[in-house]
């Protein structure tokens, strides 16, 4: 019964979406796929070593799933005798929004880790609105999830600006579950960190998916991205085991 109601809800949502003025005028149905391009920005001018970097991230959406790809390049910042190295970071989130299920992959030492869970967010939707590239967006407030609360670097509250003009409950950085697509992300305790919308392309000529095979499933619900820092010994053990298995396969 619950699944039938969810399908009915999404069908109603798609019908509303198909009437959206932002869609191509010749289309009278919801595009089965579209791509959302964002810029991930970090600007910390007042730190011991000032940091400023930005790079593209993107979200590809179909009628079944939203795939978020985050590929941070390596960058070195220097000031006087101080140096900070930002290491590369690559991960993927596959959010199956019809069944509210998240599958995440992260690359570590040439090995992919994998975790599955159901997102649990407690959003407070406010009456604060603004316009982003012609879309009316509303502010929702929740707890940031990138860093644990007891960590001094915790980002505090997350501010997600979403639009119900595109009623897909997805967004960047594992932030999902709102009644519309998230177009912008801000953080309470790290105002220099922000994810902003570049553009949305409906029915792109080519849809590229990142498919990961032979990933190691992490036996825990904890965040894959920071799992390494939470349980380094376990991750090293899993990676060593995977590398041994890979060598055996190559010898055959």
Q: Does residue 241 sit within a domain?
A: yes
| Residues linked to residue 195 through DSSP beta bridges, in sequence order | 40, 185
Q: Check whether 11 has a pLDDT greater than 70.
A: no
Q: Does residue 9 sit within a domain?
A: no
Show the domain range for 77: 31-251
- pLDDT, averaged across the chain: 83
What distance in Å separates the CA atoms of residue 226 and residue 147, rounded to the nearest whole number? Answer: 7
Q: Does residue 187 sit within a domain?
A: yes
Higher pLDDT, 216 or 10: 216
For residue range 150-194, what is the model confidence (pLDDT) as tens digits? 888 899 999 999 999 999 999 999 999 999 999 999 999 999 999
Report which of 168, 170, 171, 173 is spatially closest to residue 155, judged by C-alpha positions: 173
What distance in Å separates the CA atoms of residue 35 and residue 179, rounded to the nearest whole number? Answer: 18
Q: Does residue 18 sit within a domain?
A: no
pLDDT attached to residue 130: 98
Higher pLDDT, 64 or 38: 38
Average pLDDT of span 72-95: 93
pLDDT attached to residue 14: 41
Q: Does residue 227 sit within a domain?
A: yes
Higher pLDDT, 21 or 154: 154
Q: Does residue 43 sit within a domain?
A: yes
For residue range 125-145, what is the model confidence (pLDDT) as tens digits? 999 999 999 999 999 999 998
pLDDT bin (cut points 50, 70, 90) of residue 229 is low
Where does 146-231 have alpha helices with state H? 224-230
The number of distinct structural domains making up the chain is 1
CATH of the domain at 244: 2.50.20
Q: Does residue 50 sit within a domain?
A: yes
Average pLDDT of span 212-218: 82
Task: Please tell me the pTM assigned to this model.
Answer: 0.82
pLDDT attached to residue 220: 62
For residue range 153-165, what is the model confidence (pLDDT) as tens digits? 899 999 999 999 9
Q: Check whether 28 has a pLDDT greater than 80.
A: no
Query: What percent of the chain clears pLDDT 90, i.e. is strictly above it?
Result: 53
pLDDT bin (cut points 50, 70, 90) of residue 205 is confident
Q: Does residue 2 sit within a domain?
A: no
Quickly list DSSP for 53-66.
Answer: EEEEEEEEEESS-E
């Amino acid at each position: 019964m619950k699944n039938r109601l969810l399908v009915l809800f999404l069908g109603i949502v798609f019908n509303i979406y198909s009437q959206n003025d932002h869609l191509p005028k010749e289309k009278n149905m919801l595009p089965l796929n579209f791509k959302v391009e964002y810029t991930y920005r970090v600007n910390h001018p007042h730190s011991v070593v000032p940091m400023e970097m930005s790079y593209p991230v993107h979200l590809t959406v179909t009628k079944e799933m939203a795939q978020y790809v985050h590929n941070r390049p390596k960058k070195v910042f220097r000031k006087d005798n101080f140096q900070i190295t930002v290491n590369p970071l690559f991960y993927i989130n596959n959010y199956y929004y019809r069944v509210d299920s998240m599958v995440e992959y992260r690359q570590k030492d040439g090995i992919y880790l994998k975790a599955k869970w159901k997102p649990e967010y407690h959003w407070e939707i406010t009456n604060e609105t603004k316009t982003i590239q012609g879309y009316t967006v509303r502010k929702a407030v929740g707890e940031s999830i990138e860093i644990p609360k007891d960590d001094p670097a915790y980002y505090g509250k997350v501010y997600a600006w979403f639009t119900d003009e595109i009623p897909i409950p997805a967004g960047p950085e594992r932030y999902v579950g709102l009644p519309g697509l998230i177009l912008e992300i801000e953080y309470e305790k790290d105002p220099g960190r922000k994810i902003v919308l570049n553009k949305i392309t409906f029915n792109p000529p080519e849809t590229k998916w990142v498919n990961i095979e032979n990933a190691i499933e992490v036996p825990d619900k904890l965040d894959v991205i920071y799992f390494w820092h939470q349980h380094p010994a376990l991750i090293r053990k899993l990676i060593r085991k995977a590398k041994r298995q890979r060598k055996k396969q190559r010898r055959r």
